[in-house]
Amino acid sequence: MKQFWAVRFGQKLSKKYLKMGRAICPDCRAYFSIAHLKTSADAKMVKAQITKAQRIIRGEHVDDKFEKHLNVYKIAENRK
Ligand SMILES: [Zn+2]
């Protein structure tokens, strides 16, 4: 199974992963790298994953108990 992650800037990334793009929280400007396993890196998926990651991250600000973003988010494989 392919796995894709949004990893907060400053977090160490295993050498097994490649940074493929950058997602930025529209609300607090936190930066995340979109990371793909080298063995299943797919640049075609990155644009949609940035959109998805930003939607997840931004959605957290709606929660009253929200304090800060996680360091890592899992992004599900895109489905049509
Ligand atoms: Zn934010």
Task: Encode the chain (80 residues) as per-residue pLDDT tens digits.
Answer: 567 899 999 999 999 999 999 999 999 999 999 999 999 899 999 999 999 999 999 999 999 999 999 999 998 765 54
**Domain residue spans in the chain?**
4-75
Question: What are the structure tokens assigned to 46, written together?
Answer: 């990155």
> What's the whole-model pTM score?
0.87
Ligand 1 center–CA 63 separation, angstroms: 11
Give the torsion through C-alpha atoms of 47, 41, 5, 62, to 10 deg: 10
Q: What is the DSSP letter of 77?
A: P
CA 35 – ligand 1 centroid, Å: 19
Q: How far is the CA of 27 from the centre of ligand 1 (A)?
A: 5
